[in-house]
Amino acid sequence: MDLLAIAIAPGIAICLFILHRDAYNKEPKLELIFSFLLGVVSVVPAIFIERQFYDYNDVSIPGIALKAFIVVALTEEAVKYAVLRLYSFNRPSFDEPLDGIVYGVMVSMGFATMENIMYVQQYGMMVGVQRMFLAVPAHATFGVLMGYFVGKAKFAEPGKRSRLLGMGLLWATFSHGCYDFFLFLGQSPEVTAHVSQVLLILGAVVSLIISAILSLRHLKIHRLLSQQTYLNGGPKAPEGMLVTSNPNIFLRLASPKDISLIQYLAQQVWPQTYQQILHPNQIQYMMNMSYSPTALQEQMARGHFFFVVYNQSDPVGFLSVGGVGVGQYRLHKIYVLGTEQGKGTGRLILESIMNYLRNAGGKSLELNVNRNNRARSFYEKMGFVIIREEDINIGEGFFMNDFVMRRTL
């Protein structure tokens, strides 16, 4: 009984953790249990395929790489992917990107739990303890990485779906292969003659840590999106939405509950935008000054209206605007992720916000742009003209050297 408990407990604990993160649009329990059980069953074809290579004894480094990445990692991730794609992906309950991660982990934990039971029965308690901290969490990270892309694929345009599904299988296989590669290297005499088994295990641990960091980052992205969509128990109401001329691109009026999402987006785009213009110390100073939770709360309290920009189901940018006089408005921020730049997304959302302000009685819109920022030409194409220069002392010896631009609405 103790052996069975040590084999089952890690997978169940990770499942409970993922379900805790899926707080805003919970999945049906029967669907989750069935996905877990299908993960258990998927061990059978994996064993069958791997046993076809039972006599494979190439202990050279290329041979071990082939075993780690193809024989083991690709086989195991492919059978888990098959369950996720053929069953979970098609469920009506798979109705948001986060579900890719939820179901991906359920399938992976079913697989890992069954695998754990087999190992513990064969090798005993000590192996069960080791796998509790290594193999089972590793399978969870592979499930998150795969599920992240599968979740995106579910709601992507048909032309992008196959690529995203392939990325999910590729990332899970690559991470799994890296982890196994270091463990399997211990089978090579030419390696163990120079590198201790402890160092090889450390290599596997480092690979696992990197996968875990990526997994937690992907989980955070999809959870933030789930939070924005289902925070009040259902999809957001249409009010507050601004639809652009491209139906895939729309803006949603933000609230203080969106501050963590705005922070995340700012961290992805703001430093990259200014890394060729400003000193790293000024970038960090301005990030703290403008994008800390307190700073964003104060800006909202002062009447800055924030909008989150979406491309289909993915948050890809944000902007803020506020009134400065009768019929006069200021565009305080407008940023989109690098993946959206050069595609016309900035033009679409700027046109949308200008129409919104025009319908609200707006007469003009002003903004500041750094004098060395190439975005100046974008604004000029959008009809803005330079009306003056400003050098603004923002403290700590830093200045914002800007053009002030204006456009009539």
Give CA–CA dist 319/332, Å, rounded.
Answer: 7
123 and 178, same domain (yes or no): yes
312 vs 321: CA distance, rounded Å: 23
Q: What is the mean pLDDT of residues 202-219?
A: 70
Q: Is residue 112 packed enough to be buried (19+ CB in 10 Å), middle (13-18) or exposed (0-12)?
A: buried
> Could you tell me which residue, 376 or 96, shows the higher pLDDT?
376
* CATH for 269: 3.40.630.30
Lowest mean pLDDT among 246-255, 302-311, 342-351: 246-255
Q: In which residue are the tokens 């050279």 written?
A: 60
For residue 84, being part of any structural domain is answered with yes
pLDDT at 409: 92
Which whole number is the average pLDDT over 205-211? 72
Tell me, what's the pLDDT at 228? 53
Q: In this structure, are 175 and 259 located in the same domain? A: no
% pLDDT > 90, the chain: 33
Q: Do 211 and 295 lie in a common domain?
A: no
Average per-residue pLDDT for the chain? 83
| 90 plus 217 within the same structural domain | yes
Q: Strand, coil or helix: what is 204?
A: helix
Q: What angle do the packed helices 98-123 and 43-51 form, to 10 degrees?
A: 60
C-alpha 146/C-alpha 80 separation (Å) is 9
pLDDT at 101: 87
Tell me, yes or no, whether 156 lies in a domain: yes
Domain boundary, last residue among 230, 252, 283: 230
Q: Are 97 and 225 members of one domain? A: yes
Domain that holds residue 397: 241-408
Q: So what's the pLDDT on residue 252?
A: 86
> Distances in Å between the alpha carbon of 83 and those of 74, 103, 111, 216?
14, 10, 11, 23
CA distance 120 to 103: 25
- Asked whether the predicted pLDDT for residue 243 surpasses 90, the reply is no
Q: Where are the beta strands (DSSP E) in 254-382?
A: 305-311, 314-325, 328-336, 364-370
Residues 185, 124 share a domain? yes
Decide which of 278 and 130 is more confident.
278
Can you read off the two tokens belonging to residue 108? 């992976």
pLDDT digits (tens, 9 = 90+) for 356-404: 888 888 899 999 999 998 889 999 999 999 999 999 999 988 999 999 9
Shared domain check, 249 and 220: no
CB 291 within 8 A of CB 318: no
pLDDT band at 97 (very low <50, low <70, confident <90, very high): confident
User: pLDDT grade, residue 408 (50/70/90)?
Assistant: very high
pTM: 0.58
235 in a structural domain:
no
Strands 305-311 and 249-253: antiparallel
Residue 369 neighbours by CB under 8 Å, 6+ apart: 375, 376, 379, 402, 403, 405
DSSP letter string, 15-50: HHHHHHH--SSPPPHHHHHHHHHHHHHTHHHHHHHH
For CA atoms 329, 330, 332, 337, give the dihedral sign.
positive
Q: Which residue has the higher pLDDT, 229 or 170?
A: 170
Number of folded domains that form the chain: 2
For residue 331, pLDDT over 90 is answered with yes
The pLDDT assigned to 231 comes to 45
**Whole-number Å distance between alpha carbons of 23 and 368:** 40
pLDDT digits (tens, 9 = 90+) for 134-161: 788 888 889 888 988 998 888 776 678 8
Whether residue 236 is contained in a domain is answered as no
Do 170 and 82 fall into the same domain? yes
For residues 394 and 322, membership in a common domain is answered with: yes
Q: What pLDDT does 339 receive?
A: 84
Q: Which pLDDT does position 81 carry in this prediction? A: 95
Is pLDDT above 60 for 237?
Answer: no
What ranges in 231-343 are assigned the alpha helix state H? 259-274, 280-291, 293-301
Do 294 and 168 lie in one domain? The reply is no
325, part of any domain: yes
> Is the CB of residue 36 less than 8 Å from the CB of residue 15?
yes
Q: Do residues 360 and 354 lie in contact, with contact meaning Cβ atoms separated by under 8 Å?
A: no
pLDDT at 213: 81
Residue 67 lies in a domain: yes
Of 230, 259, 292, which one is at a domain's C-terminal end? 230
Is there a single domain that holds both residue 357 and residue 223? no
In this prediction, residue 156 carries a pLDDT of: 72
The single-letter DSSP state of residue 137 is H
Position 16 scores a pLDDT of 81
Strand pairing partners for 305?
321
Tell which of 173, 199, 230 closes a domain.
230
Reported as a single tens digit per residue, the pLDDT across 39-90 is 999 999 999 999 888 777 888 888 888 999 999 999 999 999 999 999 998 8
Nearest to 405 by CA among 378, 381, 386: 386
Looking at the structure, tell me whether residues 284 and 186 fall in a common domain. no
